[in-house]
Structure 1
Amino acid sequence: MSGTASSTQRVRPIVRCSKPLLKQVRTWPAGAISALQDCFEQTTWITFKEAATDGGTVNLEEYTASVTGYISKCIDDVTVSKTITTRPNQKPWMTAEVRMLLRTRDSAFRTGDRAALRKTRAKLSRAIREAKCAHAQRIRGHFKDTGDTRRMWEGIQAITNYRKTSPSCDSDAILPDELNDFYAQFEAQNNTAAEKSIPPQNDQVLCLTAYST
């Protein structure tokens, strides 16, 4: 139709809208936990308290900083830190084996070796199925114990791909004192003794049962 301008909206893939992110992760090699336990067992913890004591008074800030710093050093000694690249379209079931097979398949495709390409495609399909099954088992494991609400929420967050953002904290040193003064005024005005509320007899408690297929 003349005189009418038609416009089409182009949808950009999410991998092009967001840049890859570099994330620092810590891996625990075999024997790292036992080595860390041995390190803690051989540590004389009383020395940290003695070093933070001055005139019979323990400086809690110095005491806490020295202990946490020592624990962090012990963890750094037994673990391996590496940088990984995460992309916005990365699947949650993706593993290192699948990535390696993807690179092998692409290499076989570029070289034109049909036999190697067919072989790597079969291995890649099998590895993807195993990775998806392992990921599904991990998700189901969050719902085995219905009494552990924390693991259930972790499973729900994994299913919905929920990412919790870390809240920003004010670095003002006066803020804790102001919060204490603010909440202390309610304690001073509250003269009512705490009482435990008894639910009605006909009140039904929510019970969760595992669903078996």
Structure 2
Amino acid sequence: MNNHNIIRAAKCAHAQRIRSHFQDSGDTWRMWQGIQAIINYRITPPACDGDASLPEALNSFYAWFETQNNVAARKTISPPNNQVLLLTTANMRKPLCKVNPQKTAGPDNISGRVLRECEHHLVDVLTDIFNISLSHATVPTCFKTTIIIPVPKKSSVSYLNDYHPVALTRFIMKWFGKHIKTVLPPSLDAQQFAYHQNHSIDDAIVITLHLAISHLDKKFTYMLMLFRNFTSAFNTLIPQHLIGKLSLLGLNASLCNWIL
């Protein structure tokens, strides 16, 4: 058998092996193996295991951003007509019923399955806790505690900023944060896509392409596009300035103080 026939036989055998993974549509694991073979999927081994000094180094690295902030965070005095945001049991029941039991639990180690199955017992308690927290503009320390997992941004890590800190927070705080986003005022910029309900990076790409192509369809036209990338943008955020901007957008004082 010559080389051409050998290559043809190998291709046929590989194609048959791939097709075999999709014969039984009920076996999701075999289907996933077939997709992995098609796209040449390989699991990248973590680059930060076994380094006992990494957690303390990351702590010092992220604390450095806070030491550079010389703007003191101060709560504002709520005006007499300030409307404190209050949740109802209906606000809490919906996310409790929709919690994904497969998601990883936070530092309280309470699984999503437990919260989902015990929704009728927990909804009143959680509603009271959040309403008290909002009325006093104070977040319990245990709710703010998270598990930080440093995930390398690239295969070769050269300095600490190459790690992306993924925070595992409590399910209930995730729901509460999502509800806060639903009460944001309509004065937000329509062209803001991050952290905006029903908006995503795909929308930004589509709108940008539409504007560019519509403009370039005209004769004798050109365009310049500027892309800016801010290193450690979230870490260098100044809370007091953020609250000032949220207040200008229309958020009431009590909610701004709670966020602060």
TM-score by shorter chain over 0.5: no
Please tell me whether Structure 1 or Structure 2 has the larger radius of gyration of its CA atoms. 1
